Chains A and B, each alone.
Chain A
Amino acid sequence: MTFFQASEIVKNYANHRALDHVTISVPEKSIYGLLGPNGAGKTTLIRIINQITAPDEGSLTFLGRPMREEDVHQIGYLPEERGLYKKMKVGEQALYLAQLKGLSRQEALKRLKVWFEKFEIQDWWNKKVEELSKGMQQKVQFIVTVIHKPRLLIFDEPFTGFDPINTRMLKEEILNLRKEGATIIFSTHDMASVEELCDHITLINRSRTLLAGPIQEIREKYAGNEYELRFEGDVNLLTATLNSRFSILEHTKEGNVSVLKIKLNDRGTPNDALRILLDAGKILSFNKLTPGMNEIFIRVVSEAGEKETAETLTETTQN
């Protein structure tokens, strides 16, 4: 079921178009990755979802109906540019921000107590924010983002400024929240965490969607017909039996074990390959190679860049 959808969003700024007919469709209880290089338009899209800015064209659908102003109470947003009032006390500030999210004072107090205990930060309550380290401030920030139990969570570059331990903890919390029924949109440059967390992604580049879909499908799609083979035996024999169906891209040796990267041609299937390999030696493993998100990201973005340059060039020659 689609939990949230932004359709054909267009947003123009003074000198450029920040979003050009971008559509994202976020399934319920998914972790949705919003990827793209700096300046691609991710933050603009997130701000539109949060109703901070209005789109020039396009529509937002929340739970199958047009998004309403009070839906912001169902959204928890951790912006990339985030901070707290430095001179204000931690507890007072958390209470204030929670109340701004529509919680009553009592309810906010109760929930904050639970979270402060969970993160073992009860004794920060009466400290001023400026006395906390950056990582500590991020924890407080995380708490006030989720305190009102939003059904949609939006994290913009959530891991910047966290140390590895806190990053781990934050990831666990994100997975927990999903388990509890939240839908999460999450924008990042960190492809490792995308692979680890996201189910779906949209890749935006230069204001346009380049790629969208479930992460597994995307990785499949970008997987070339490549396999990794580990076996013990005579590589030369194997090379000898090579026919046009597959080629060896890489060959390394780990002791007795040969590690080969094989590419099958268009008509070749893994079964064909295995049939040939069976006689060549002792097969330890045979895996399909799927590219990492990092690889896909770079590939897709640079291809798009080339294409765009080419387009610009043709345009200029035509003119």
Chain B
Amino acid sequence: MSKTGLIIRREYMTRVRKKSFIILTLLTPVFMAAMFVIPVLIMSSKDKEVKRIAVVEEGGSLFRGKIHSTQYLKFEYLDNMPLDTLKKEFDQLGYYAILYISPKLAYIPTAARLISRKQPSLDVVTYIQDALKKEIERRKLLSYHIENLDKILKEVETDVKLQTIQISATGEEKRTSTGIAMGIAYVGGLLIYMLTFMFGAMVMRGVIEEKTNRIVEVLISSVKPMQLMMGKIIGIALVGLTQFFLWIALTLAIVTAVTGVLMHGPDQEKKITPQSFFSAGTPQSNTLQEKTISMEDLSQGEQLLTALRSVNWPLILGSFLIFFLGGYLLYASMFAAVGAAVDSETDTQQFMMPITIPLLIALFIAMGAFQNPDSPVAFWGSLIPYTAPVVMMARLPFGVPLWELILSIVLLFLTFLGTVWFAARIYRTGILMYGKKPSWKELWKWIRYKTY
């Protein structure tokens, strides 16, 4: 095995065997899967037992046969049973609930009651409310004596769901969901930002560790500093990729397993609302979410899954991989140089600026890109290599021309090569310097030292 290979293997193995790595790798997919599964889970968590509901209507039978039984809800009309008796014999009769309707319901909205032992689930309540409301509305309309009312109502009944269609350059149409696109943009951009920091800092700590352990000079007498630095960077990149693939594979496995079980459950209401899961999760729609999420979990969960399936995953994941790698390599070499320049992690602050500032700017541009993916700022942000990985991931789900994508990738990797050259020069001098923290001016001098 080549020396760089040996270094890569050591860097990889020591990290992959760490308990913290194993725990993080196994737990994250559980959380990620939970993000997809919980909405679906909530919708299907309503129990499958058949609930019998006694309907008692005081002084009339206006609603008889108007509340339709469903597979799990059976409505039984009890004309002659007084409410009190019913309440007394509630347990013997085996009803889930008693629906008591007062004749005043038409003008007092609270005049109907649902009496039960347990708190009835929200969708039961919603179902009954809808049925009662529709019937009252129908009756009120009837009182206007409009001819052919039933027919008119039938004809008037409309359901609107706004479909968003993306049209590609070739004229191909694709159903999209803006919410899903935003979600992916958000997660992708943020993930690149976080992973770059996480694994970059890992490189930096590794370099500092070798320096404070004083092993670096032993190593450097066998291998070139460049080999040592690149071995570390690549080794940790592989750790990142391993984690990434395990995360995706495990998340997919969990999601498929759980939804597979759940989707076979019968009788799912097909009501579609145009609200998607991810947009409901963004802060600006929090209040909306409060009101709607529990009622519409079912449709949301289902819609989410359909929408997720319509996403061009190979493109998104492939690009994510490339931009993660490119961004990581670019920043990791800078992290390595910072690690080499200092003696301990507490001294890194001063040199972290050229790393944190472009990354933060990238994050800000990405935030803007969710709203306006084709603004000039987002465009340039996704081409300039130091911000490109984060910003491009934020733009990608909304559609980016291929040439922009390729140009961005090429620029990114060219800049990486340039940055590595500079970083390596700081690195090989820095790792052998102990004591005084160098100034920027000294770093510049290090870059110009003669080397082999």
Contacts and interface: CB of A to CB of B under 8 A. Distances in A.
A278 interface: no
B50 interface: no
B445 A14 contact: yes
A87 B1 contact: no
A54 B451 contact: yes
A54 B442 contact: no
B217 A100 contact: no
Contact of A82 (B7, B209, B214, B449): B214
Interface residues of A, number: 30
B74 interface: no
A88 B14 contact: yes
Interface in A37-58: 47, 50-54, 56
A52 B450 contact: no
Contact of A83 (B218, B222, B450): B218
A114 B221 CA distance: 24
Contacts of A194: none
B219 interface: yes
Contacts of A47: 432
B6 A99 contact: yes
Interface in B1-39: 1, 3, 6-7, 10, 14
Given A14-B442, A51-B452, A81-B434, A72 B221 contact: yes
A301 B136 CA distance: 110
A240 to B, nearest CB: 63
B402 interface: no
A97 interface: yes
Given A54-B451, A99-B1, A85 B221 contact: no
B215 interface: yes
A82 B6 CA distance: 20
A165 B285 CA distance: 75
Interface in A83-101: 83-88, 96-97, 99-101
B217 A96 contact: no
A77 B221 contact: yes
B223 interface: yes
Interface string B393-414: 0000000000000000000000
A69 interface: yes
Of listed A54, A85, A100, A101, residue having the most chain B CB within 10 A: A100
B191 interface: no
A53 B431 CA distance: 12
A25 B215 CA distance: 29
Contacts of A100: 3, 6-7, 219, 222-223
Interface string B185-228: 00000000000000000000000011001110111111100000
B14 A87 contact: yes
B434 A101 contact: no
Interface in B38-63: none
A207 B450 CA distance: 18
B222 A97 contact: yes
A79 B210 CA distance: 14
B280 to A, nearest CB: 45
Given A54-B451, A88-B14, A72 B434 contact: no
A52 B220 contact: yes
A185 interface: no
A96 B451 contact: no
A101 B3 CA distance: 9
A85 B213 contact: yes
A198 interface: no
B218 A144 contact: yes
A209 interface: no
B218 A77 contact: yes
A50 B223 CA distance: 10
A79 B213 contact: no
A81 B10 contact: no
Contacts of A99: 1, 6
Given A51-B452, A54-B452, A99-B1, A75 B218 contact: no
Nearest to B222: A100
A76 to B, nearest CB: 8
A23 interface: no
B99 to A, nearest CB: 68
Contacts of A101: 222
Contact of B218 (A72, A79, A87): A79
Nearest to B450: A54
A54 B14 CA distance: 32
A141 interface: yes
**Looking at A14, A69, A87, which has the most chain B CB atoms within 10 Å of its CB?**
A14
A83 B442 contact: no
A53 to B, nearest CB: 8
A261 to B, nearest CB: 45
B217 A72 contact: no
The interface centre, meaning the residue of A47, A51, A87, A96 with most chain B CB atoms within 10 A of its CB, is A96
Contacts of B219: 97, 100
A77 B216 CA distance: 12
Given A100-B3, A100-B223, A52 B214 contact: no
Interface string A93-126: 0001101111000000000000000000000000
A72 to B, nearest CB: 6
B222 A72 contact: yes
3 smallest beta-carbon distances between A and B, as pairs: A83-B214, A79-B217, A77-B221
17 contacts: A14-B442, A52-B217, A53-B449, A53-B451, A78-B218, A79-B214, A79-B221, A81-B217, A81-B434, A82-B217, A83-B218, A85-B209, A96-B6, A97-B218, A97-B222, A99-B6, A144-B218
Interface of A: 14, 47, 50-54, 56, 69, 72, 75, 77-79, 81-88, 96-97, 99-102, 141, 144
Given A54-B452, A88-B14, 19 more contacts: A47-B432, A50-B220, A50-B221, A54-B451, A56-B450, A72-B222, A78-B218, A81-B214, A82-B217, A83-B213, A85-B213, A87-B14, A96-B10, A97-B222, A99-B6, A100-B7, A100-B222, A101-B222, A144-B218
Interface of B: 1, 3, 6-7, 10, 14, 209-210, 213-215, 217-223, 432, 434, 442, 445, 449-452
